[in-house]
Structure formats: C-alpha cells, structure tokens
C-alpha cells in the first residue's frame, strides 16, 4: 500500500538559513498527523514542499505516490490545503467563494458544492458575505474550499488559531469525520490539547523533526514523573525550583505548577525545598503526562 506521505531527507534552505533540515517520515493513509513546533520551526515550509509549491533544496518526498517535484500537478489536484490566513474573498458570498474554488479545481457539478455546504453546516449562511462571518464560520468555509474537490490528503496549517473553544471542538469533529472517510490529514497547531486528538504526532524544532510517533508512545517515553504542585505564590515558586537538580522541567499550568522530576527523584525533595523558603505548598499530586509535557521537554 502506498503511504499518504513519504519524505526522505527533505531539506529546504533560504540563503544561509536552513528552514527544514533533513527530515524523513512516513504517514500511512487515513491517519491524522499533528505537526507541532514553535513559530518559525519549519512546519509551514514542510507543508509547502509537500504541496509541491516550494522546491526542496535536498531530499525527496512523495505524496499519495506522486513525486512532489516532477508530479506537482497531480499532487495539487489530489490534495487540499487550508492555510493560516484563510484564503477567502471577503467581498464574495459563501456560495460564491465555494463555487469559485470548485471551478479552480475543475469541479463543475453544483451538487458537490451543495453537498459540501451541507456537510459543514454552511448551508444556513450561504448567501452571506465572507467578511460578515465570525471567525468560526470563516474557518469552516476555508475548510469547505479545501475539500470541495474531494482530496485524499488534507493539509491544515493552524486552522484553529484565534477560534473559541466551542468552535474548535466542532471543527475537530469535522476533521474526524473526514478521517473516517479515509482522508489523511496533516495539521499544525499550537493547542496541545488538540494534538492529543491526533493518531500521530510530529514535533519540530529549528528545522529538525525531533520525534514522530503515536501520542501514547511519545508520552510513555517521557523520562521522569509529572507532578501537579499547588503552591503560593506561584511565579516565585516556579523561579525558585526552576534550577533545582531534582527538577527536569517546571511550567505554569493554569493555577498550579507542573513539575517533571528527574528520574528517580521523589517530589518530596522539591516540596521540602519550597516549604523551607516559606512557600505555602497546598498539595502535590502525580499527574498524567500530556503532549504539552512532551513538547516542552523536547524543546
């Protein structure tokens, strides 16, 4: 069976700057690949190369069996792309935007346009101008334009940025239903809770792919133990234990500290150190490792 995405030593340089540095990975069809990394770590550049709109400086990649350089036309015809800034015409209506993109991909049947509108629940706003839509609706319309030509692989570049929690959840329900239809999805996001919904997760830093695996295996591989420490005042406590030898990493998690201890070190050493400096330690309970922990530990 052909992999949906296959990349080997994929590299892209801009002058001296190496945006993507020899990355290799493979994604089987039907998977949802969450692609994480700080701003400027090379996520968007990777997607652009896979879409065939940016040529690799080195290495090769195949998308749905097509070479991204020599068969970029086929790549573009069978993939969908939804970019960070939703590429919509603000002065066109929902219907006009969608029929325009359908036309660009050579989709002539009005039935397909209707079908997509209905599938994404856009039928109730189809006569509205894109600029009058809320961010959540605009995001759905952008998704609609990316799937109107029935792509087998979908690239989503920070699709949920700036969207409220409820709309984000609704959007992920849509992604799931697309994946259930056999569409492979590659999605970048800054929301670590969303990353948990993916079947595969890749983490990038400074152009390098640090890890690519199933979420659970990534979390299992996290060295050390996660603790949720409720302490007052929060920030000085964080700053105090930041460089403590028993602490591998510490971060702010809503109203408490999330501490990853060095392997074999008990949390008691840390809480004792805090209490000695007159911090009020309320509780310290073991936490379950999350993708956010993995992400932060790898950076």
Residue ranges binding other proteins (CB under 8 A): 37-40, 84, 134-136, 158, 161-167, 169, 172, 190-193, 196-197, 215-216, 233-236, 238, 251-255, 290-292, 295-296, 299
Question: How far apart are CB 153 and other proteins at their closest, in Å?
Answer: 23
Comparing CB distances to other proteins, the nearer of 62 and 194 is: 194
State how far the Cα of 205 lies from the Cα of 211, in Å rounded to an integer.
10
CB nearer to other proteins: give 11 or 161: 161
Residue 10, beta-bridge partner list: 23
Closest CB 77 distance from other proteins, rounded Å? 30
Tokens in use for 273?
């150190």
For other proteins, give the closer residue by CB, 1 or 166: 166
Burial per residue of 187-199, b for 16 or more beta-carbon CB atoms within 10 angstroms, e otherwise: bbbebbebbebbe
Tell me if the bond preceding 149 is cis, omega within 30° of 0. no
Q: Residue 191 Cβ, how far from other proteins at the closest point, in Å?
A: 8
Beta bridge partners of 17: 14
Nearest distance from C-beta of residue 137 to other proteins, angstroms: 9
Least CB distance to other proteins at residue 81 (A): 18
- Give min distance, CB of 16 to other proteins, in A: 14
DSSP secondary-structure letter at 190?
S
Residue 56: name the closest of 66, 46, 71, 42 by CA.
46
Cβ closer to other proteins: 95 or 295?
A: 295
Is the CB of 115 or the CB of 239 nearer to other proteins? 239
Instruction: State the virtual CA torsion across 290, 295, 296, 297 in degrees, nearest 10.
Output: 90
Task: Specify the residue, 44 or 99, whose C-beta has the smaller distance to other proteins.
Answer: 44
Max CA distance (Å), the chain: 73
Q: Which residues contact 214 (CB under 8 A, 6 or more apart)?
A: 199, 200, 201
């Amino acid at each position: 069976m052909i992999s949906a995405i296959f990349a080997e030593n994929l590299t892209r340089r801009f002058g001296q700057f190496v945006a993507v540095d020899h990355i290799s990975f493979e994604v089987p069809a039907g998977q949802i690949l969450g692609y994480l990394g700080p701003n400027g770590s090379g996520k968007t550049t990777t997607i652009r190369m896979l879409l065939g709109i940016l040529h690799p400086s080195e290495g090769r990649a195949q998308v749905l069996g097509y070479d991204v350089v020599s068969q970029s036309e086929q790549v573009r015809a069978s993939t969908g792309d939804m970019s960070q800034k939703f590429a919509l015409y603000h002065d066109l209506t929902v219907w006009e935007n969608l029929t325009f993109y359908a036309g660009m991909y050579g989709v002539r049947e009005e039935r397909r346009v209707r079908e997509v509108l209905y599938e994404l629940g856009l039928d109730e706003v189809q006569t509205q101008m894109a600029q009058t839509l809320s961010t959540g609706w605009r995001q759905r319309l952008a998704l609609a334009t990316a799937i109107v030509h029935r792509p087998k692989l979908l690239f989503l570049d920070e699709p949920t940025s700036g969207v409220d929690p409820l709309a984000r959840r609704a959007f992920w329900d849509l992604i799931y239903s697309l994946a259930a239809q056999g569409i492979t999805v590659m999605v970048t996001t800054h929301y670590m809770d969303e990353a948990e919904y993916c079947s595969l997760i890749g983490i990038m830093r400074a152009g390098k792919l640090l890890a690519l695996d199933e979420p659970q295996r990534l979390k299992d591989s996290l060295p050390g133990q996660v603790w949720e420490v409720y302490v007052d005042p929060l920030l000085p406590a964080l700053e105090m234990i930041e460089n403590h030898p028993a602490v591998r990493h510490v971060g702010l998690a809503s109203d408490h500290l999330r501490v990853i201890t060095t392997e074999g070190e008990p949390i008691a050493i840390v809480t004792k150190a805090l209490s000695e400096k007159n911090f009020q330690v309320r509780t310290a309970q073991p936490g379950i490792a999350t993708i956010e922990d993995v992400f932060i530990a790898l950076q």
